[in-house]
Chain A
Amino acid sequence: MVVINRGAHAEPGTSLEFKTGNWRSSECPVHVHAKAPCHAACPAGEDQQAWFAWLQEGHVEEAWRELVSKNPLPSVTGRVCPHPCETACNRTSIDSALAIHNVERWLGDEAVAKGWAYPVEAPAEDAPCVAIVGAGPGGLSAAYHCLRNGLRAEIFEALPEAGGLLRSAIPPTRLPRPALDAELNRLLALPGIKLNLRCKLGRDVGLDELKHSHAAVILAPGCGLSKEWNIDGAVPTDLHEGLHLLREFMDHGEFPEARRVAVHGGGNTAIDLCRLMKRHGVEQVTLITASALPGPDTDPEDLINVVPRELEEALEEGIEIIEHATVKRLIMKGSRMTGVEIVALKKLLGTDGRMHRVQFEGTERVVSVDMVIPCIGERVDPEGMHNLMNRWHYLDARDRWSRTPQENVHAIGDARGDRGTVAEAIGDGRLAVEAVAARLQGRADPVEDTRPEMPASGLNPVYFGRISRTAVPKLPVAERTFEAEIEGDIGRMAALREATRCLSCGNCLACDNCWVMCPDNAVIKTAELASDGSHYVFDLDFCKGCGICAKECPTGFIQMAEDTWHEGD
């Protein structure tokens, strides 16, 4: 029974008896830990935001441990990766992307210098062992993730040294050998990894044998052979193929004699080769590529597939690049080459609804060269794996876990044909091992991260001040040699400063905005981390669903979603 008190005064805080939560019409706020775009874009599967969060708090080793939970070779990828993470970075909408690549390298080098232990434990003696063919980035990643999944790994490498194309195809100006060796040796020294060198599949060991002796087989042979190249059936008598030239040069430090060279292709190998030849003294180096150079109107599909800074440096160094062109005819004087005829071409939509490269008659012109070097890509050496080759001459990997038609056999990295970067190979290695581990535990597929990605439009940029991107030190063109690393170390201060630029897209950064700005006091701060990874919970007894918290959340961590709450929940 209501008792009306004198003067109808009210007792403090009694409005809490009135649950305004039933005022919400349709939506209520929820915490959505969306993927940061850097994470979503990373082929290796790194969560850059997670390790930047550690850096923001000054915990460098924890940052590195978070990083190597996915990618065991940050010192390497921090030098060679085309960093799609930076391209995806939402900070571009405010000022410019974080220098993720450079911070990654610094972290990797820091770990080597300080001797931080990888976050793995030695597998049990009787743990299942996975056979890995190839000790390139994919194979090494697979071996490492075996340890992380409690498995042992045995690597079979045809060459006398581990490293794969990291050693054979990437010039020391991009990846100095000491840096490579330091990280590889640390990785290979982990207990539970056995490395067999000079052990070639099909020659020293057979696939069936491996399938029998090991719990699973992961093929990571890379693409050891160059793709065949000819112009209407013609090839120069002294044809030097790009990847081969590069390997030769790395082994012997010599290029064949030439004054003017045309390189035909459009990948990192082509650019590396151009730059090395130019530095070696070739007067004129011309890259002929069917793709386009970056520009305001360039279609991303059409863009040349090269690390942007490498392209920039190549242009600095005087490499001439002819875009949207292909070699149409070789001009020979006897067996001697005097030039190539090139023609303009472009990718256009055909009547079949697919993109085709169309050559434009009447745009032919001649570039005088005395050597043309094809650099149009590589293919798999099929030895020992003929049964697994598909019709495009790659290994027949069929899903994101690189499963092949043969049970317990995975094919990862460049050999799949649809990969092209070190980071992708590293990611493949991890995913394949996760699939192996899942199968061994009797599960169908590993758990997939199906979270949505956080677009820049989902952030509230008001809360982020402008801070310019750290400038990365670089050798002047004149001082560039065959050995000296061109890009420098950004150092601790810059790395930590760069970390503060991270927007924490889709992640709660405990800024208190929701807590401060809720007119209904319906956001409750938690002393410990809440179960959804935030520092707050919504009191839906009182939330009226106005949406201010979602609008003012700087990182898009709060979103309005269909209201499924019932009174008394």
Chain B
Amino acid sequence: MSDNDTDQRAERLAELREKFGRHPVEPKKPFHQGASLRDRQPRFCALESGHRACQGCGEALAARLVMECAGPDVMVANATGCLEVFTTPWPQSAWQVPWVHSLFENSAAVASGMEAAMKARGKNTKILAFGGDGGTYDIGFQALSGMLERYHNILYVCYDNEAYMNTGIQRSSSTPHAASTTTSPAGPERMGKRHLKKDLLGIIAAHHIPYSASASVAYPADLQRKVRYAMGINGPTFLVVHSPCPLGWKHDSHLTIEVARRAVECGLFPIVEMERGELANVMPIREVRPVKDYLALQGRFGHLMKPDDPRAVEELTHLQALADYNITYFNLRGEGEDPADTVGISQVARDRAAGEA
């Protein structure tokens, strides 16, 4: 074999490694110590680039936002699911904090052990537990309840994308009514999921933990405020973050925020805060949108967009009734301004900075 052939082969091998993510393990690179712009970002980045989430992944965004304000002195227990899979394809990891993945249903319990270890070792490192809606509403629910009851100093964050996305878009107890998934498909005999979305926050509330809240990736500042608040509490806290999944919800990747925002604006995903299980604050909706505005962006509700089909009309009306119920129940209709609902606007900041003061 000539030298030339050898070179070509080595080149080809390097190319294949690049393509399929097989990298030789090299000595640790000094990330975040270098002189590059990326290294000097004015925020704590615990979830690095290079993770394998789909385009426009709401969960990847939500997790990064959470980690940003959780800070470096934390340790994460992550349930099996998209977040775990796309962040840690060995030999790489997108995490910049200590992170452990054990199983689908035990992140709350693993976190409990981590927290117990911190207590035993006299450390203050805060423990976070992450799970998807499957790992939280369903299979990991018992472990979560136990964690809350035992009053561990843990922030549990549920990234709610309303189905088992990692396994192939199967329905969970968090899937909204009438949504089509691979195990609740719409067809001549069915209009998608027959059951309702589980009122998880209601159940969490019954644990009377110090703080629980819902948030959405569409309102990052609100989400981060809640994380910071929860981080300051010594005890169990719970956050459910509405995180659209372009693949599972069947919407364009650039619409992730828009879809999440509409979910809030129509009342189907109320943004609320609870202290000791009592409703403490809501994000008011100043202009309520019809649920159709939210549903129409998503293929999983495509079967409802048939005005000639009475069943579709009935389910659409049903979803509208559920949204209306939320709005009434949580008293979401807001007038004027409230600190909680100026989030998107405060991002832009300009028309508030000098204006009304």
Give chain A's interface residues, CB within 8 Å of chain B. Answer: 1-5, 8, 10-20, 23, 56, 58, 462-465, 467, 496-497, 499-502, 504, 509, 511-513, 516-522, 524-527, 537, 539, 541-542, 544-548, 550-552, 554, 560
Contact A547 B254 (CB under 8 A): yes
Residues of B within 8 A of A548 (CB): 56, 61, 253-254, 256-257
The interface bits of chain B over 87-114 (1 if a CB of A lies within 8 angstroms of the residue's CB, else 0) are: 1101111111100000000000000000
Query: Interface SS of chain A: helix, strand, loop or mixed?
Result: loop
- Chain B nearest CB, measured from A502 CB (Å): 7
Task: From the candidates B253, B353, B354, B355, name the one contacting A547 in the complex (CB within 8 A).
Answer: B253
Min Cβ gap A221→B in Å is 44
Contact between chains at A17 and B23 (CB < 8 Å): yes
Closest to B26 in A: A17
User: Which residues of B are found within 8 Å of A545, using beta-carbon distances?
Assistant: 55
List the A side residues contacting B28 at CB < 8 Å.
11
Overall SS of chain B's interface: loop
**Are A17 and B50 touching (Cβ within 8 A)?**
yes
Per-residue interface assignment for chain B, residues 40 to 71, with 1 indicating a CB less than 8 Å from any chain A CB and 0 otherwise:
11100101111111111110110011000000
Q: List 19 A-B contacts (CB under 8 A).
A: A5-B25, A13-B93, A15-B92, A16-B49, A18-B23, A20-B49, A464-B345, A465-B352, A467-B355, A500-B351, A511-B347, A516-B347, A521-B45, A521-B49, A524-B38, A525-B42, A542-B49, A546-B56, A548-B257
A501 with B95: CB separation less than 8 A: no
State how many angstroms separate the Cβ of B270 from the closest Cβ of chain A: 19
Give chain B residues whose Cβ lies under 8 Å from the Cβ of A13.
31-32, 48, 93-96
Q: Which of B49, B258, B354 contacts A522 (CB 8 A)?
A: B49
Q: Is B9 in contact with chain A by the CB < 8 A criterion?
A: no
**Contact between A500 and B353 (Cβ–Cβ < 8 Å)?**
yes
- List the B side residues contacting A525 at CB < 8 Å: 37, 41-42
Q: A23-B55, A496-B354, A525-B41 are in contact. Are A18 and B24 (CB under 8 A)?
A: no
On whether the beta carbons of A539 and B25 are closer than 8 Å, the reply is no
Query: Which residue of chain A has its CB nearest to the CB of B61?
Result: A519
- Considering only CB atoms, which chain A residue lies closest to B221 in the complex? A516
Residues of B contacting A547 with CB < 8 Å?
55-56, 252-254
| A537 and B95 contact, Cβ closer than 8 Å, known pairs A16-B48, A521-B47, A546-B256 | no
The closest CB in chain B to the CB of A462 belongs to B344
* A497 partner residues in chain B, CB cutoff 8 A: 354-355
* Chain B residue at minimum C-beta to C-beta distance from A465: B345
Contact B42 A542 (CB under 8 A): no
Chain B residues, CB < 8 A from A544: 54-56
> A465's contact among B25, B93, B342, by CB below 8 Å, is which?
B342
The answer to whether A500 touches B352, judged by C-beta atoms less than 8 angstroms apart, is yes
B261 contacts partner chain A, Cβ-Cβ < 8 Å: yes
Residues of B within 8 A of A522 (CB): 49
Shortest B31–chain A CB gap in Å is 4
Is B220 engaged at the interface, CB distance under 8 Å to the other chain?
yes
By beta carbon, the residue of chain A nearest B261 is A462
Quick one: closest B residue to A16, CB to CB? B50
| Additional 8 contacts, C-beta under 8 A, given A519-B64, A547-B253, A550-B254 | A12-B31, A16-B50, A56-B354, A511-B350, A517-B257, A519-B60, A545-B55, A551-B257
* B97 neighbours in A (Cβ, 8 Å): 12
Closest CB-CB distance, A300 to chain B, in whole Å? 29
Within 8 Å CB of A524, what residues of B?
37-38, 41
From known contacts A2-B22, A525-B41, A525-B42, infer whether A12 and B349 are also in contact, taking CB-CB under 8 Å.
no
Are B38 and A539 neighbours in the complex by a CB distance under 8 Å?
yes
With most chain B CB atoms within 10 A of its CB, the pick from A20, A512, A517 is A517
The 4 closest A-B pairs by CB, nearest first: A547-B254, A15-B50, A10-B93, A546-B56
In the bound complex, do residue B90 and residue A10 qualify as a contact, i.e. CB atoms below 8 Å apart? yes
**Chain A min CB distance to B75 (Å):** 12
State in angstroms the CA–CA spacing of A1 and B94 once bound together. 21
